[in-house]
């Protein structure tokens, strides 16, 4: 059942993406409306998948890669939905929706087995630590998308539009940085309660520190004239690569004791 809903969600996100592309080219009201319906349907399906998964496992969907991929996709999708319904803003969807589709495809081919949670993870410190870090990842993804749009439009876009995307990159980085800082603080408190150390010298923690300093640097580009605009956008796009490395790369390529 969950698998079927997941595939349906992928199909609807694919349809929504196709609609966004056609809409960007044709500016057709009908295509716009259809793609919004597809987006809403896909998000509803994905939310249902997450709820069913939580009912199945009895915990928040963040114990295994299958679950975290679903949650990462949902976080980005939630942000897309907020942008659509609060700001009627869809330009970055062309870049964020493929991220959602890829994450869901990876989840669809991951092991969906239900495994009991180790005792050490049975604490809300862990759940909130992971939830806030994935919200941060979603916001950094959005910042990267806005940065990429800025770079794309840099040559031909008008100044107001470029300023808008520059502002979006900054604001989503600030929001992402805030969520990420909360996540690191909660993770530090949890580590202190679990192991007596608020900081562990292991790859995942080190890469998290890397991300934190990197995005602190991105935020400071705003007050350095020559780093605004192009450089800040390039850094935001590069930050997305680091997010992927922190989330998936460390687990796949490095030996680490971090659970996820």
Any contact of residue 114 with other proteins (CB under 8 A)?
Answer: no
For residues 137-166, which are near other proteins according to CB under 8 A?
142, 160-161, 163-164
For residues 15-34, which are near other proteins according to CB under 8 A?
20, 23-24, 27, 29, 32
In whole angstroms, how close is the CB of 172 to other proteins at the nearest point? 6
Any contact of residue 172 with other proteins (CB under 8 A)?
Answer: yes
Secondary structure of 53-121 as H, E, C letters: HHHHHCCCCCCCHHHHHHHHHHHHHHHHHHHHHHHCCCCCHHHHHHHHHHHHHHHHCCCCCCCCCCHHH
Stretch that binds other proteins, among 58-66, 101-109, 129-137, 191-199 (CB under 8 A): 191-199
Residue 220 burial (CB count, 10 A):
11
Any contact of residue 183 with other proteins (CB under 8 A)?
Answer: no
Beta carbons of 165 and 146 less than 8 angstroms apart:
yes
For residues 82-101, which are near other proteins according to CB under 8 A?
82-83, 86-91
Nearest-5° Cα angle at 177, 176 to 182: 100
Any contact of residue 250 with other proteins (CB under 8 A)?
Answer: yes
In whole angstroms, how close is the CB of 227 to other proteins at the nearest point? 6
Burial string for 11-30 (b: 16+ CB within 10 Å, else e) reads ebbbbbbebbebbeeeeeee
3-state helix, strand, coil in the chain (%, to 5): 80, 0, 20
Which one, 3 or 116, has the nearer CB to other proteins?
116
CA distance 218 to 126: 27
For residues 36-75, which are near other proteins according to CB under 8 A?
none
In whole angstroms, how close is the CB of 72 to other proteins at the nearest point? 18
Which one, 70 or 141, has the nearer CB to other proteins?
141
Q: Which of 200, 234, 244, 248 binds other proteins (CB under 8 A)?
A: 200
């Amino acid at each position: 059942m969950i698998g079927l809903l997941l595939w349906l969600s992928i199909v609807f996100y694919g349809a929504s993406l196709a609609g966004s592309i056609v809409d960007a080219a044709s500016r057709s009201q009908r295509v716009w409306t259809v793609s919004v319906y597809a987006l809403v349907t896909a998000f509803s399906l994905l939310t249902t998948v997450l709820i069913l998964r939580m009912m199945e496992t009895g915990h928040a969907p963040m114990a295994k890669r299958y679950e975290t991929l679903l949650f990462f996709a949902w976080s980005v999708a939630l942000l897309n939905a907020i942008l659509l319904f609060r700001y009627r803003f869809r330009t970055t969807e062309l870049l964020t929706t493929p991220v959602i589709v890829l994450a869901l495809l990876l989840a669809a081919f991951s092991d969906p087995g239900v495994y009991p949670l180790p005792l050490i993870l049975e604490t809300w410190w862990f759940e909130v630590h992971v939830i806030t870090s994935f919200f941060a990842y979603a916001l950094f993804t959005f910042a990267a998308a806005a940065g990429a749009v800025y770079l794309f439009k840099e040559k031909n876009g008008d100044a107001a539009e470029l300023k808008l995307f520059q502002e979006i990159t900054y604001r989503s980085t600030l929001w992402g940085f805030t969520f990420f800082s909360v996540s690191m603080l909660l993770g530090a408190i949890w580590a202190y309660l679990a192991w007596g150390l608020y900081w562990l010298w292991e790859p995942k923690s080190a890469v998290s520190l890397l991300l934190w300093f990197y995005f602190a640097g991105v935020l400071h580009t705003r007050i350095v004239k020559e780093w605004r605009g192009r450089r800040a956008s390039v850094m935001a796009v590069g930050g997305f690569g680091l997010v992927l490395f922190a989330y998936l790369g460390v687990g796949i390529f490095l030996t680490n004791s971090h659970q996820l």
